[in-house]
Structure 1
């Protein structure tokens, strides 16, 4: 029975307008070098320019792997928690979300798991790279752990950090690694997080 492997990464560092920066391009190329030895079947990316540009930089190291857009990977809030589920640190973050917007985001998140968080239909292994956003990686990790919907909160990812999840038929998903930045030199790590001191 085959294994579906998802290699999840947040896009490279971008400017306030969502354009990939020189740092973001360097990060993406280093991730591409790390993935170069894998038999990648496809590189999927969010429709947003920073994710698409990152995917194309990575693809330079994966000749023959098609670069494809997936609407489900777009940056969105996957689940708006109830007040009782909302940690104090997130108080006020969801104030602008009405019921229709929350339902639309959750529907999109469910489409994401339906499309990608499944075992392969055939006996062959598959290897897919997903270039997306922090919230979508958090949602897929939460789903793999079968954690409550609100637990996507607090799972953050650095730019081009690597998360790997495996899916097998009749087995729970396996998180192989989360937010791994070992392909990045120290000066390129921790982008995408709030400004603070890092080890």
Structure 2
């Protein structure tokens, strides 16, 4: 039975201007070496600079594999809950109905394009952002839309989801950073204890 295999990855660590840092480039090199062991058919990336650069680095390790932009992978807020959890009130402060509707349309476009089976066996890498990784996992698990909140994703972490006709999606890996040494893990998060 054909499986559409998505390897959904967050871009490497970036600076405040959205450009990859040296750490982000090193993380992405290590991710690319890991992905080079897979039969990748295509690399899709967000139009934002940090994802574009990450995808190009990955593409350098995958000769002959097309590297293309997918607007659906852009960084956005995929869902604004009707009742915002108190811990998230500041995050959504000032977020209007028009922005929420736009985010919902982008989230639907993302799942419509990528979160579905294919007729042939495929292996695709999606280079995107933390919120989009969380949204795809939430969607694969058929969890309520609010569950995307709080699903942290490390830079260059791998999430693998398989889609087959007639079956529920299978989340095979989530936020796997096994290709990174300890000092390169958990970038993009605040201070605290990390596993």
Q: Fold conserved (TM > 0.5)?
A: yes
Give the distance between the partners of 1:101 and 1:88, measured in 2 at CA.
20
How big is each residue's C-alpha offset from its partner over 1:97-153, in whole Å with a ceiling of 9 and x where there is no partner? 111110011011000000000000x2x210000000000000000000001111100
State yes or no: 1:177 paired with 2:173: yes
CA displacement at 1:198 relative to structure 2? 2.5
5+ residue gaps, structure 1 = none
State yes or no: 1:131 paired with 2:127: yes
Secondary structure at the residue paired with 2:131?
helix
Equivalence for 1:146: 142
TM-score normalised to structure 1 length: 0.96
CA displacement at 1:60 relative to structure 2? 1.4
Give the distance between the partners of 1:179 and 1:197, measured in 2 at CA.
16
* RMSD across aligned positions (CA): 0.9
Equivalence for 2:87: 89
Give the distance between the partners of 1:100 and 1:87, measured in 2 at CA.
20
Give the distance between the partners of 1:94 and 1:73, measured in 2 at CA.
21
Give the distance between the partners of 2:162 and 2:13, measured in 1 at CA.
26
State yes or no: 1:62 paired with 2:58: no
State yes or no: 1:198 paired with 2:184: no
Give the distance between the partners of 1:25 and 1:114, measured in 2 at CA.
30
5+ residue gaps, structure 2 = none
CA displacement at 1:156 relative to structure 2? 1.1
In the alignment of these two chains, the number of paired residues is 195
Structure 1 stretches of at least 4 aligned residues deviating more than 4 Å after TM superposition = none
